[in-house]
Amino acid sequence: MELQLAGKTAVVTGASRGIGLAITQALTREGVRVVGAARTITDGLEQAGVTAVPADLSTPTGARTVIETAIAETGGVDILINNVGAGDVDRLTLGGFLDADDQQWRDLFDLNLFSAVWAARAALPSLIERRGVIINIASINARVPATGPVGYSEAKAALVAFGKRLSEEFGPQGVRVNTVSPGPVGTGIWRDPDGLGAKLAASYGATHEDFLADLPTMFGIASGRITEPEEVAALVTFLASPAAPSLTGADIVIDGGTIKTV
């Protein structure tokens, strides 16, 4: 399928690894000029052939700087991918509601919701002019709020609602806004020895290796496997393209059949 993306410009937040890096690489292969933003510029991002911008997206200044840099470098923004999210594992409490303090709530909302709010606010004048696209990367945790660190699911649920609001307000001006909600994805969050997966494994008294092997069963994944970053990137690339003109205001789940409700 010809996606007609060549020559367009995109900003991808959280672009240094995992889903963000896979999206960056997929868009670049389609001829998109990408500005990739991340707190830390990794070798993978440097090698992706993009304009890499170091920034803390959990702050208004960081998010605004990324968009301003992108517009200065490329002349305007056609596609905004609000991918940055999750949180620093060493700062997350894995207990219940009464164990999580206000700072955890603020940190998770700043990174998982307000980063998208700030980036969208800065980018929308250009996106309106170019009849562009916003794609927010949420999570199935928005639909299963009893799992994950306290505050994370709630922030992702707010992000889904935010995307719907934007689609309603700016759809008549030619801007399409969609949300992609992955289930467990094979990134460092689960696979790194110091990531969330390893921390959860330790809390269950299991080895990291055994925990990863049991993950599809634990989550009830119908496909029997977790999703890979490249699969999410392929979906995002399609949604960003002119090949999906009627897809707006949607929250598209990509989870291997984890969510069982209709």
Q: What is the pLDDT of residues 149-196, one digit of tens each?
A: 899 999 999 999 999 999 999 999 999 999 999 999 999 888 988 888
DSSP 185: B
Report whether pLDDT(237) > 90.
yes
Nearest of 18, 146, 2 to residue 81 by alpha carbon? 18
Could you tell me if 182 and 227 are in contact, meaning their C-beta atoms sit under 8 angstroms apart?
yes
Could you tell me if 218 and 201 are in contact, meaning their C-beta atoms sit under 8 angstroms apart?
no
The CA distance from 194 to 131, in Å, is 41
Q: Rounded mean pLDDT of the chain? A: 93
User: Among 109, 114, 118, 152, which one carries the catalytic annotation?
Assistant: 152
Instruction: Tell me, yes or no, if 152 is annotated catalytic.
Output: yes
Whole-Å CA distances, 178 to 5, 79, 144, 148, 159: 17, 12, 20, 23, 11
Domain edges within the chain: 9-186+228-254
Nearest of 259, 208, 240 to residue 82 by alpha carbon? 240
The CA distance from 119 to 240, in Å, is 17
Report whether pLDDT(146) > 80.
no
Report whether pLDDT(59) > 70.
yes
Written out in words, the top-level CATH class of the domain with range 9-186+228-254 is alpha beta
Burial 63-82 (b: 16+ CB within 10 A, else e): bbbbbebbbeebeebbbbbb
The CA distance from 112 to 121, in Å, is 15
